[in-house]
Chain A
Amino acid sequence: MNITVCIKQVPDPNQPYKLSGTRLDREAVQPVLDPGDEFGVEAGLKLAEAHGGEVTVLSMGPAKAMEAMRRALSMGAHKGILVSDEALAGADAQATAQVLAAAIKRNPFDLVIAGTESADGSTGAVPAMIAELLGVPQATFAKQLEVKEGTLTIHRQTQEGYDVVECALPAVLTVTSGVNEPRYPTFKGIMQAKNKPVEQLSAADLGLSVAASQQVAAVNPAPARGQGEIFEDDGTGAARIADFLKNAKVI
């Protein structure tokens, strides 16, 4: 099986973010491999271990994204492709999907795996667009997955429970956190990752000239939570709290 896992380097989501205009200030916060992508890498590695084949990690980002790529390689992925181009800075979901799809198409593939959304942009749109551009089915929000005789079967997480979804390979798959337990890189993996091949491509190498078709006009913080209501207990406190909760449809 040829498996491509899409990964992204993001500012550490556990640190407070900083903005530079309408974009994240990527210098201000330590960059890390998107934690959600670790589940994708693990899913790819597990499938390759069970069915044979190779896992390629694919990313679009600045040269610094190589650190995130090495992290995925130290988990056990076989090789990497990093599309890095000044012209791609500020790419939107569509431009990103075009780039990633073009990079995937250069080699035969059975499965493309991604997280459900990135921790920074959080559009959640890129995997679906990749599937469209590649002309293959997409199986999304997998909390469990299996590949058997060229068919991918997943449990798709829903609000009520899960749907069982099947599709033929090749396909695009997105995995939720919780689909597996991502492995921690071993020292051997870390040392091997140093020497694994990473192909570096520009937009021109992919024959693309893409531009963002949408711009983020403004970034606004969520409104701060208003002050709560304070009841002085004059003997009717419990009843007033009960009324309050009833009005809020909590009880």
Chain B
Amino acid sequence: MTTTEAAPEIRSSIFSPEHEVLRASARAFIERELAPHADEWEEAGDFPDWVFERAGAQGFLGLSYPEEYGGQGGDYLSSLVLKEEMARCGSGSVGMALAVQSDMATPPILKYGTEEQKQRYLVPAIKGTRIACLAITEPEAGSDVANVQTTAVRDGSEWVINGRKIFITNGCRAHFCTLVARTDRGSIDDAVGPEGVKASSINPRKPSGYQGFSLFLVDTDTPGWQVAKRLKKLGMHASDTAEIVIEDCRVPANALLGEEGKGFYQIMWELQGERLAGAAGSVSGAQLMFDRALEYAKERHAFGKPIGANQAISHRLAEMATEIEAARQLVYDAAWRLTKGEYPVKEISMAKLYGGLVACRVANHAMQVFGGASYLMDVPIQRAWRDARLIRIGGGADEIMREIIAKTSGL
């Protein structure tokens, strides 16, 4: 038995003792209930649906949702704690799949959904009995989100959706999808935002020309909805990633989520929190890689001494530790601002950019410390190395982060 619910040691002044008790509880759950399966799931390229249900029962899918919908009633920091601990699962896939459910596909339902939509989609999503995906990206609309081509056309009491979505996490298994489609019928209007910033950096508090997109809640068993392909990836093997083809998919009028034409603002607002959560997860993952590399550097002997006794290794480890700490403080500062009610787009972008860069650097260095062993598929470091690379591309690529930082700095 390994229960150690220690009196909480508070790791940063942004957290309360209760956040730290949550951290201990989440860590125990993740290390005991999820981590032992990580290898098997990554090997199989999938993980079972019960993970959603167990995570839901544990409150992980609704940490910052109100209790009336089955949530835990916590703040943003409580969900940040979970993202940090989820790195201990050993499979980035699981954390990503759960985060898509709790932090990407469902926040707009809470904020903009009708009571009926909340009962039908949000409540079971928080419980983990219905799996959600979020479909924004298309073959021709990645970072350039405003180029979304999927259309929803009103036909009597229904909407008819046509289009193609790609890189959809949970897309193969999802029961429902939060979908972005054009509803303006016209050509692409004003693909560049008010500050000259492209799609993913839009600050929805300011007026802009990003009209014409709407959000829909689509049941994936609706005729015309088709998973065209399960995409193979470099990492995150246990997570399913779909290409979805939507052909004359007819949904009722009440499938519209929020206001017609406001979909872009509704979804972009929420993605900031998710972006920061992603950064928190990568920094935490980097810390775990570092911890492993440090241990190994002390244990592994070469030429009669531990390899960590060589300055080439020890100085590199010192630099890794410093960078990880710096990245973590960027995350915590942005999280603190977000919790205070600010909308720190610039700080979040910095945290994600730097967190991703550091995670990949640490992964590279850790590979070097582990030497030949790191290149073996049954040694966890190579998986962490593969998984880490995604953060610099997904959820707003490094280049988009730099663009936002530049624009918000007045360039």
Contact partners of B18 in chain A: CB under 8 A: 187, 190-191, 194
Verify B6–A184 contact, CB threshold 8 A: no
Contact partners of B2 in chain A: CB under 8 A: 14, 35
**Known contacts A177-B1, A184-B28; A190/B6 CB under 8 A:** no
Q: Give the interface centre of B5, B7, B21, B26 by most chain A CB atoms within 10 Å.
A: B5
Of A26-34, A51-59, A94-102, A147-155, the stretch lying at the interface with chain B is A26-34
Expressed in whole angstroms, the minimum distance between the Cβ of B250 and any Cβ of chain A is: 39
Q: How far is the CA of A67 from the CA of B5 in the complex (A)?
A: 9
Instruction: Give per-residue flags for A1-43: 1 if the beta carbon is below 8 A from chain B beta carbons, else 0.
Output: 0000000000011100000000000000011110110100000
A188 contacts partner chain B, Cβ-Cβ < 8 Å: yes
B58 contacts partner chain A, Cβ-Cβ < 8 Å: yes
Which of A36, A184, A188 contacts B29 (CB under 8 A)? A184
Instruction: Give per-residue flags for A175-215: 1 if the beta carbon is below 8 A from chain B beta carbons, else 0.
Output: 00100000011111011001000000000000000000000
Residues of chain B from 129 to 157 with CB closer than 8 A to chain A in the complex: none
B356 contacts partner chain A, Cβ-Cβ < 8 Å: no
Instruction: Give per-residue flags for A60-89: 1 if the beta carbon is below 8 A from chain B beta carbons, else 0.
Output: 000000010011001000000000000000
Majority secondary structure, B binding face: loop
Contact partners of B59 in chain A: CB under 8 A: 186-188
Expressed in whole angstroms, the minimum distance between the Cβ of A226 and any Cβ of chain B is: 29
Contact partners of B29 in chain A: CB under 8 A: 184
Q: How far is the CA of A35 from the CA of B21 in the complex (A)?
A: 16
B73 contacts partner chain A, Cβ-Cβ < 8 Å: yes
Verify A31–B72 contact, CB threshold 8 A: no
Expressed in whole angstroms, the minimum distance between the Cβ of A78 and any Cβ of chain B is: 18
Instruction: With CB as the reference atom, state the residue of chain B lying closest to A34.
Output: B3
Contact partners of B21 in chain A: CB under 8 A: 70-71, 74, 185, 190
Verify A190–B25 contact, CB threshold 8 A: yes
Expressed in whole angstroms, the minimum distance between the Cβ of A63 and any Cβ of chain B is: 12
**Known contacts A191-B73, A194-B18; A186/B5 CB under 8 A:** no
Q: Give the interface centre of A14, A36, A71, A184 by most chain B CB atoms within 10 Å.
A: A184
B74 contacts partner chain A, Cβ-Cβ < 8 Å: yes
Instruction: With CB as the reference atom, state the residue of chain B lying closest to A74.
Output: B21
Contact partners of A186 in chain B: CB under 8 A: 25, 58-59, 72
Verify B7–A67 contact, CB threshold 8 A: yes
Q: How far is the CA of A71 from the CA of B3 in the complex (A)?
A: 11
Verify A30–B6 contact, CB threshold 8 A: yes
**Known contacts A184-B28, A187-B72, A188-B72; A33/B3 CB under 8 A:** yes
Which of A13, A74, A184 contacts B58 (CB under 8 A)? A184
Contact partners of A67 in chain B: CB under 8 A: 7
Contact partners of B13 in chain A: CB under 8 A: none
Other 17 A-B pairs with CB < 8 A, given A74-B21, A190-B18, A191-B73: A13-B1, A14-B2, A30-B6, A30-B7, A31-B7, A32-B3, A35-B2, A35-B3, A70-B21, A184-B29, A184-B58, A185-B22, A187-B18, A187-B63, A187-B72, A190-B25, A191-B74
- Give 7 closest A-B pairs by Cβ, nearest first: A186-B59, A35-B1, A187-B72, A35-B3, A184-B29, A188-B72, A185-B25
Q: Would you mind naming 19 contact pairs between A and B with Cβ atoms under 8 Å apart?
A: A14-B1, A14-B4, A30-B4, A30-B7, A32-B3, A32-B5, A35-B1, A35-B2, A36-B1, A67-B7, A71-B5, A74-B21, A185-B25, A186-B72, A187-B72, A190-B18, A190-B21, A191-B18, A191-B73
